[in-house]
Amino acid sequence: MTSINLPNPDRSITPYTLTGEPIPFVRHKATDFPRIAYAAAHVVADPLANNDPWLTPAIDWDTTLKFRHRLWDLGLGVAEAMDTAQRGMGLGWAEAQELIRRAQAEARTRDDSLIAYGAGTDHLAPGPDVSIDTIIKAYEEQVGFVEGEGGQIILMASRALAASAKSPDDYAKVYGRILSQVKQPVIMHWLGEMFDPALAGYWGKGSHEEAMDVCLDVIAAHADKVDGIKISLLSAEKEIDMRRRLPASVKMYTGDDFNYAELIAGDDAGYSHALLGIFDAIAPAASAGLAALGRGNTNEFFDLLEPTVPLSRHIFAAPTRFYKTGVVFLAYLNGLQNHFQMIGGQQSTRSVQHLAQLFRLADKARVLSDPELAVSRMKAVLNVNSVLA
């Protein structure tokens, strides 16, 4: 048995013995799955770049793109340049453009590369004096770039719109203008304030229930231009309510990193597809679970995915916006990158205690692909932080 000394909440350090049998890496096709499943993918920082990490992103493009191919090999789609990639939280629009350009070039080398790209207004500084027309132009710039590369749009929420909108009518105007122009149906993304505090009050309403009414009206008015919507509110009840009220042609993509297993499985009234940051971190488990569901084996689906839910809840614990640190840490533990560094220096946003508990939960979820490597790398992180491992 492989063991490691880990810190506990009471500040003691005790041995932890790994028990999880890693879920094997098995190639699948998206057609093996009964749901469309995107993993919102992270970017890999370049730790040897001579830059100011808080100010200037430096990306290891080879490792970043290799990770996209891994997701495709597992049958998962890639949701590119989203908040998991630190979009607007370390990754600027200039870097996002390069990421989109490079990812689309890689996607063209395969016949099984499901991919869609975030387009928003993050190159526009928010402020109450920013006009609605300026926000529309900012959206048009990013949408035009993605479509110019031949990509499908994931229409991201806008901090600038949240800061400037005076009423739900402003949201209807912006989304109506953009949706009327897109070349193919988009995936809309309603990102809750738990992921980005600047998006509080989105859709011009104070409560999620009232905001949902506004969002549904926008979708109904442009249903032919909406492939689906991802909502990230961390509430199964709200997602199910909205799912049941969508036009028949519009898909629900779960963004609920707390309740995804039950939402993907669904109920007698429907189910959710998936567009999840946690699928970056648990990709082999997600792939195996979806394949089991595709074979009609619901019990196996839950056996594989339910143990990952406590891990996901921990990674996405408040402050939820720091979840990216846990996603990258798991990539490091699993040998998918050779360092635990992030653009913007965001590896520092979670404590050693948080990372130690993440390690335990990842073992129980069977998503440590090489336990001995994971132990070696966990020890390195603990030692750097003056914890004797």
**Type of residue found at 370:** D
Mean pLDDT of 252-279: 97
Q: Which residues contact 189 (CB under 8 A, 6 or more apart)?
A: 82, 118, 154, 155, 156, 157, 229, 230, 232, 255, 275
228 contacts 273 by C-beta, under 8 angstroms: yes
pLDDT at 128 > cutoff 90 = no
Q: Which residues pair with 191 in a beta bridge?
A: 232
pLDDT at 56 > cutoff 80 = yes
Query: What is the sign, positive or negative, of the torsion defined by CA atoms of 226, 121, 272, 109?
Result: positive
The pLDDT assigned to 239 comes to 98
The pLDDT assigned to 317 comes to 97
Mean pLDDT of 188-205: 96
Q: What is the pLDDT of residues 331-355, one digit of tens each?
A: 999 999 999 999 999 999 999 999 9
CB-neighbour burial class of residue 376 (10 A; exposed 0-12, middle 13-18, buried 19+): middle
Q: What is the pLDDT of residues 364-382, one digit of tens each?
A: 999 999 999 999 999 999 9
Report yes or no on 232 lying in a domain. Answer: yes
Nearest residue to 115 via CA among 84, 81, 85: 81
The pLDDT assigned to 65 comes to 98
Mean pLDDT of 298-324: 98
The pLDDT assigned to 389 comes to 60
Q: Report the CATH number that the domain containing residue 334 is assigned in CATH.
A: 3.20.20.70
Q: If pLDDT is split at 50, 70 and 90, which confidence band does 387 have? A: confident
Three state DSSP letters for 102-143: HHHHHHCCCCCCCEEEEECCCCCCCCCCCCHHHHHHHHHHHH
Q: What is the mean pLDDT of the chain?
A: 97
Gap between the Cα atoms of 235 and 259, Å rounded: 8
Gap between the Cα atoms of 230 and 251, Å rounded: 9
pLDDT at 58 > cutoff 90 = yes
CB-neighbour burial class of residue 192 (10 A; exposed 0-12, middle 13-18, buried 19+): buried
Mean pLDDT of 18-23: 96
Domain count, the chain: 1
The pLDDT assigned to 386 comes to 80
Mean pLDDT of 218-233: 98
Domain of residue 199, residue span: 3-384
Nearest residue to 27 via CA among 110, 101, 83: 110
Report yes or no on 389 lying in a domain. Answer: no
Q: If pLDDT is split at 50, 70 and 90, which confidence band does 103 have? A: very high
Q: Which residue has the tokens 């394949």?
A: 291
Structure tokens at 192: 């809750």
* Phi, psi (deg, nearest 5) at residue 237: -65, -45
